[in-house]
Structure 1
Amino acid sequence: MILITGTAGFIGFHLSQRLLRDGEEVVGLDVINDYYDINVKYSRLAEAGIDKNEIEYGKLVQSTTQPGYRFIKLDLTDRESLNQLFEAEKFATVVNLAAQAGVRYSLINPQAYIDSNIIGFTNILEACRHHVVKHLAYASSSSVYGLNEKMPLSTGDNVDHPISLYAASKKSNELMAHTYSHLFGLATTGLRFFTVYGPWGRPDMALFLFTEAILKGEPIKVFNHGNMVRDFTYVDDIVEGIKRVIENPPKGNPEWTGESPDPSTSKAPYKVYNIGNNDPVTLMDFILAIEEELGQKAEKNMMDLQPGDVPATYADVQDLMDDLGYKPETHIRHGIRNFLDWYREYYGYVTDQGADAGAITDQKKQ
């Protein structure tokens, strides 16, 4: 039995569907907060066979379409209910994708990151420890690299200079996980995701925001005057990486030494991986690809770099290739096309954005 937290979220939704197709039994957990449009979250759950009207806090809901899938609305800060769930279900594997996301939002509401990403993660660690979970995989982020400038970004690099509370919370998760691996033998794997995109993506992310604005004929915000580079990684590639990771819990590195410590591994059963496309794309090329796929030009408002943002990300995924024989490889054009196909279908978009489109949109989102 696998617990996936954050299954009303973007990556969690895709991961749960992949594992169910592979014959796994999955319990999905999410608090369904309103950081972005909850209708998108409820639509993901509906796609997985979870009836919105059946959802109650603390109640396991059976999928109407997938016998191996159940969902529970639960807050990770609710330690008592979380422990009751672990006691009842006897999870062998936990994938913790639930977190307060977003770099810029951490400047506005820092407490949300402490509650979800620190207190919530502590409760997950404690539940795994006391209920003999075999492997905990958890979402970290490329944001942990902070002020690092040497490219590509490697898990062997020091990551002591985060520039957002979000990044600091993710670095904290890695440190906390190592402590539990060392003290209690809990196998933990951290996954540093690099700019994930694709169908059912988050409405606060660049691809979603750009697409929405271009189709409405509104200007897009181009930060750092377009001088940004991102290692955009398609969600199916992320999911394949997670699947391989959870099937291969770390056993500890006997060659690790404190004299020249590798921060990505340990003598304890602990490991951190980058999951990125290893093929960085400039922001302007990314926008151009969206324009060409849509057949519409974007009106661009050039803006300064936002506090907490970094100008470039580029993942070194050599250890992922060496250990698991895997490297993400979906081309950005293919991924953008798949997202746009989903977006048009989900929002019932028509060229003139007339009344019929609005009616379809309302129906889709409810």
Structure 2
Amino acid sequence: MTIIVTGAAGFIGHALTRALMQRGEHVVGIDNLNAYYDPALKHARLADLGTINAGHFDFLELDFADHGALEAAIAPYKLTTIVHLGAQAGVRYSIDNPRAYVQSNLVGHLNLLELARHRDVRQFVYASSSSVYGNSDTVPFSVDQRVDHPISLYAATKKADELMSETYAHLYHLPMTGLRFFTVYGPWGRPDMALWKFTSAILQGKPIDVYNHGDMRRDFTYIDDIIAGVLAVIDRPPADDGAVKPGGSVSPHRLYNIGNNQPEPLGRMIDVIEAACGRPAIRNLLPMQPGDVYQTYADISAIQGDLGYAPTTGIDIGIPRFVDWYRSYTGS
């Protein structure tokens, strides 16, 4: 079958494409290789995909917010599944550049929905985010709780994507699965994420900015555990049977949290990085930043019960793996 993966040069998109190719799939990857962070890393991920001697990979460099370019580029392919991971990422950047989020995360999402509808795909899988839970004090976060109070534009666009997807599942009986990812980390990760920033600074002997004086908790989820969950979702589309799905829909649309189900204090995360780097951090303690949330904590019972999802990698294993990769990639 032919699977579209948007954001194929991104962190999760690269890892998913790699896994799909290794099991023999034909993947059509889409990415515009924008400069939100250094495109050299995106090119390196694409080069890594070129080393896989299995499956087949076609790469299309385009902006999926341009519906004409998207539809023309995809026209030759017979599609079975779309996995829409591409988006303008970053909570804090959404405060500085809101229009980029509307264009990529709203217009782009609609374009992919329309493509899925007209090409009669088997399933449309898309990336949502744990940020939709905002500052909820009901933990762990469940897909069945209301998420009506986003505290960043990024979170608002992800909630809007879920609502648009529900509409398409209802109107066109298009099987849909939305995935609320929780603080994904690991080799080939993103430079705008705390793990990369902290590792880089610690290795260079520079201070790190620690927000809310370190009093935050995150459900850090290792990339291999994320990909295991996404593959399970791809292989088991939701049924159009009128039954209530995770997230509350009676259409063929379900929502899953993909997390580690084990929030870690930010201070302990830094401790593990220090141990992996072999040197102490210089901690610059600061107040909470606008748009940040105090904690994330995934209730994974829905995906666990439906698909057998079971994360296996804690930060004591995952963070040293990232640090080893980072040193190899950067030569530091």
**Fold in common (TM above 0.5):** yes
Q: Equivalent residue for 1:227?
A: 215
Distance in structure 2 (CA, Å) of the matches to 1:147 and 1:306: 13
Residue in 2 aligned with 1:85? 73
Aligned to 1:38: 39
Which residue of 263, 266, 278 corresponds with 1:280? 263
Determine the structure 1 residue equivalent to 2:164: 176
Q: 2:132 aligns with which of 132, 141, 144?
A: 144
CA contact (8 A) 2:128 2:179 kept: yes
- In 2, Cα distance between equivalents of 1:128 and 1:64: 28
Is the partner of 2:124 in helix, strand or coil?
strand
Tell whether 2:160 aligns with 1:159.
no
| Contact residue 140 and residue 299 of structure 2 kept, 8 A | yes
Tell me how far 1:265 sits from its aligned partner.
3.4
Q: Distance in 1 between matches of 2:73 and 2:253?
A: 25
- Matches for 1:341-360 after TM superposition, within 5 Å: 341-349=324-332
Match of 1:102 among 87, 90, 93: 90
Q: Is the 8 A contact 1:232 1:280 kept in 2?
A: yes
1:122-141 map, 5 Å: 122-141=110-129
1:213 aligns with 2:201: yes
Distance in 1 (CA, whole Å) between partners of 2:220 and 2:166 is: 28
RMSD: 1.3
3-state SS in 1 of match to 2:76: helix
Match of 1:268 in 2: 251
In 1, Cα distance between equivalents of 2:320 and 2:220:
14
Greater gyration radius: 1
Q: Secondary structure at the match of 1:15?
A: helix
Q: 1:302 aligns with which of 275, 279, 285?
A: 285
Q: CA separation in 2, counterparts of 1:24 and 1:190?
A: 22
How far apart are residue 65 of structure 1 and its match? 5.3
Post-superposition shift, 1:328?
1.5
Q: Which residue of 2 aligns with 1:14?
A: 15
| Aligned match of 1:335 | 318
Q: Once the 2 structures are TM-superposed, how far is the Cα of residue 251 of structure 1 from its aligned partner?
A: 1.1
Partner of 2:295: 312
TM-score (norm 2): 0.97
1:319 is aligned with what amino acid?
Answer: A
Maintained 8 Å contact 2:85/2:127:
yes
Cα shift at 1:337: 1.1
Whole-angstrom distance in 2 between the partners of 1:253 and 1:146? 32
Residue in 1 aligned with 2:5? 4
State the Cα deviation string for residues 248-280 of structure 1 (Å, max 9, x = none): 111146343xxxxx7713221000000000011
Q: Is the 8 A contact 1:275 1:315 kept in 2?
A: yes
Structure-1 separation of matches of 2:73 and 2:227: 25
Query: In structure 1, what residue type is equivalent to 2:114?
Result: E
1:263–1:275 distance in 2 versus 1, CA, 3 Å: closer
Partner of 1:121: 109
Matched residue SS, 2:169: helix
Contact 1:223 1:303 in 2 (8 A): yes
SS where residue 82 of structure 1 aligns?
Answer: helix
In 2, the alpha carbon distance for the partners of 1:112 and 1:284 equals 32
Structure 2: gaps spanning 5 or more residues: none
Distance, in Å, in 2 between the alignment partners of 1:170 and 1:116 is 11
1:12-39 Cα deviation digits (max 9, x unpaired):
0000000100111111110000000111
Contact 2:23–2:55 (CA<8 Å) still a contact in 1?
A: no
Equivalent AA in structure 1 for residue 67 of structure 2? R
Question: Which residue of 1 is the match for residue 307 of structure 2?
Answer: 324
**1:273 is aligned with what amino acid?**
Y
Q: Is the 8 A contact 1:92 1:135 kept in 2?
A: yes
Cα distance in 2 for residues equivalent to 1:87 and 1:129: 14
Q: Contact between 2:24 and 2:54, CA under 8 Å: does it hold in 1?
A: no
Give the corresponding residue for 1:193.
181
What displacement does 1:329 show?
2.2
1:191–1:273 CA contact under 8 A, matched in 2: yes
SS at structure 2 position matched to 1:138:
strand
Structure 2 residue 24 is matched with structure 1 residue 23: yes
Q: In structure 2, do the counterparts of structure 1 residues 156 and 253 end up closer, same or farther at CA, with 3 Å as the change threshold?
A: farther
Aligned residues: 331
Question: What CA distance in whole angstroms lies between the structure 2 residues aligned with 1:286 and 1:214?
Answer: 13
TM-score (norm 1): 0.88
User: What runs of 5+ residues in structure 1 fail to find an aligned partner?
Assistant: 50-62, 257-261, 350-366
